[in-house]
Amino acid sequence: MIRLDHVTKSYKQKGEVRYIVRDVSFTIPRGDSIGLLGRNGAGKSTLLRLIAGTIKPTSGQILRHAKVSFPLGFQGSFNASLTGEQNVRFVARIYGQDTEELVDYVADFSELGNAYYMPVKTYSSGMKARLAFGVSMGISFDYYLVDEITAVGDTNFKKKCKRVFEEKLQRSDIIMVSHSNQSLKEYCTTGVVLEDGNLTYFPNIDDAILMHDDNMARR
């Protein structure tokens, strides 16, 4: 499980304090895939990175009694000066994976060719997304964090991504940020709405979508 214990994340913006989450306590159990909804700028991607551990809360703590991925749509964790292969080796050591096995898997999955051995700073956004998705699929996580499903490459590559991703979800849960209600309904059973620093949980994703739509209409 993942437990947010009195978590606050705030920034100073134009001299004022802006809260992403404010004194939030919330448990994410195993067995439920959660859709994370909120208006643009509410802080959904920031909350996902808090859960991943790529940024720290201003106060409170996040307890992870599970193996949690970095956000699939987030490529900022790569060192731009290192090659794709070198980045994969680094990730393998962090997560205790067989280095050569992961390097070979990502090379095959990403279909980057010789670019795999070039610095990431030379990559297009699509190439970075291929690398990030390949790394995530090469490691077994309890929770996969998805900041919009990244659809890159030709039709066959997209189909391969979808097939492998759905195979992973047979044994894992997902925490997903998406602007597509169709994607949320396809992958998620429950939902959380982020609004003004507060989280509201719904055991049914359809109810979460209704509340989010209502919030958008009132705004």
69-97: per-residue pLDDT in tens?
Answer: 888 756 667 899 999 999 999 999 989 99
- Give the C-alpha separation, 22 to 24, whole Å: 6
- Give the C-alpha separation, 95 to 90, whole Å: 9
Q: Say which residues have a Cβ less than 8 Å from residue 62's Cβ, sequence separation at least 6.
A: 2, 3, 4, 5, 7, 50, 51, 53
pLDDT at 120: 96
- Write out pLDDT tens, residues 90-116: 999 989 999 999 999 999 999 999 999
- Identify whether the C-beta of residue 28 lies closer than 8 Å to the C-beta of residue 5: no
Q: What is the mean pLDDT of residues 140-168?
A: 81
133 three-class SS: helix
- Identify whether the C-beta of residue 100 lies closer than 8 Å to the C-beta of residue 124: no
Evaluate if residue 153 carries a pLDDT over 70: no
Provide the residue type at 198 as one letter: N
pTM comes to 0.85
Instruction: Please list the residues that pair with 37 across neighbouring strands.
Output: 193
pLDDT at 77: 72
Q: Which tokens belong to 87?
A: 């980045």
**Reported confidence tier of residue 63, pLDDT bands at 50, 70, 90:** very high
Evaluate if residue 208 carries a pLDDT over 80: yes
Alpha helices in the chain (DSSP H): 44-52, 84-94, 99-110, 125-138, 155-168, 181-187, 205-218
175 three-class SS: strand
Q: What is the mean pLDDT of residues 124-135?
A: 87
Q: What is the mean pLDDT of residues 113-137?
A: 91
